[in-house]
Amino acid sequence: MAWGLTKSHWQHTPHTVRRMKRATKMVHGASDQQAKDDPELLQLVMQDLAAAPTEFQPTNYWADYTLKFVEQLKLRGLHNFRRRSDEVFRAFGAVDFVHPMAAAGLSRNRFIARLPSACRARIDNWARQYISVPDELDFETYVRLGYLFAAKYAREGHAKPLSELSVSRVGNPGGIIDIDGRNYTRQSIQYYLQYAYMSRFIDFDRFGIIAELGSGMGRQTEIFAKLHPNSTHLLFDLPPQIYVAEQFLKAVFSDRVVSYRETRAWTSLDRLKPGKIHIFGNYQMPLLATSSIDLFWNSASFHEMEPDIVANYLRFVNASAKWAYLSENLHGGVKAKRPGEPGILKVTTFNHYVSSLPDMELFVSAPALRINGKPLKDTAMIFRRQLTR
């Protein structure tokens, strides 16, 4: 299957680099666009989480992260959060960074060059899962080539062109690339690719309501909402992640965001506001069963949970969604040695996902792609409601 650029597009020639440098530039310096701190809202979501049923409490993977995350938010707030080195911010994908191996180039790094050959080989093998391009290809060119791949890949479906998207600089992200006056990061192109894959099978302009569990800081919603401004969004996540999402999206979209302060008292989705972005805690997922939604979305979140937790969430999706997109590592995330230590306790497998959606059928599945066209460890699975039962 032709998925876009051929291998020759990734060759590092002087001509290619000069052309990329003319069309692309790294954006340096701090951004004055920041997400505002709201300590009262943070306290509110954490109080509501504490009162939520056991099945919605942080899993073994996230329990320790949650405590660390709240401490970081209280200590340092949200200023420059998208370039912070805090472990918890990176754990849920809130940080944009220039990967050090891409920036330095293994073959040119004088410190790595001094290491024994076996050690250098191990580092090379580790780096290839992130880069998979020639060593001397610098980060800026890597992102530019990723842009070209994603733009071409998207033409084979209903996706809006990548050239119509410019991501926000709220939170002062690192690794911002200016392409023809528009902002991109490596991570934003990666998220656009997921949208482009789904757009091969559905037309987002025909979808009214999109619900996402594990929305993180709201990266995917920013892309959906900018490319399809009439869509209505429901974001569910653990506090404090959902707090970060609300503050980030408020800074990007202003009054298009319906605050958790309003939605926390809802007992149904009867009060949804068309075209708005609604913020919910993960423990409000039962609301999905009160109304039909067009698309449910979960990317790299379910594989951080145990099968019974995933099944609990998916029963609400099974009751309401016409389509569902799941992108998960079918071998599971980091494994915990024992309860209480970081990681998952049991892997959620492909069969678990299928059996948790009995009223939906697997429509298609394929390896999720990196921006260089190489497969990720995750598998993208698309389910649709069965036409006949």
* pLDDT number for residue 12: 41
pLDDT at 131 over 70: no
pLDDT digits over 65-95, tens only? 899 999 999 999 999 999 998 788 888 889 9
pLDDT digits over 178-214, tens only? 999 999 999 999 999 999 999 999 999 999 999 999 9
Question: Which residues pair with residue 243 across a beta bridge?
Answer: none
Segment 245-249 mean pLDDT? 98
- Percentage of residues in the chain having pLDDT higher than 70: 84
Largest CA distance in the chain: 64
Question: What pLDDT band is residue 134 in, cutting at 50, 70 and 90?
Answer: very low
Q: What is the mean pLDDT of the chain?
A: 88
Cα separation, 130 vs 133, in Å, equals: 9
Question: What pLDDT band is residue 56 in, cutting at 50, 70 and 90?
Answer: very high
pLDDT digits over 289-345, tens only? 999 999 999 999 999 999 999 999 999 999 999 999 999 999 988 899 899 888 999
* pLDDT number for residue 4: 41
- Percentage of residues in the chain having pLDDT higher than 90: 74
| pTM for the predicted model, two decimal places | 0.86
Question: What pLDDT band is residue 98 in, cutting at 50, 70 and 90?
Answer: confident
42 three-class SS: helix
* pLDDT number for residue 350: 97
Residue 288 amino acid letter: L
Question: What pLDDT band is residue 135 in, cutting at 50, 70 and 90?
Answer: very low
Cα separation, 370 vs 132, in Å, equals: 10
* pLDDT number for residue 5: 44
Cα separation, 339 vs 34, in Å, equals: 37
The CATH fold of domain 1-96+138-389: Rossmann fold (3.40.50)
Question: What pLDDT band is residue 133 in, cutting at 50, 70 and 90?
Answer: very low
Strand arrangement, sheet containing 360-369: 257-258, 277-281, 232-237, 209-213, 293-299, 321-328, 375-385, 360-369
Secondary structure of the chain: what % helix, strand, coil (to 5)? 45, 15, 40
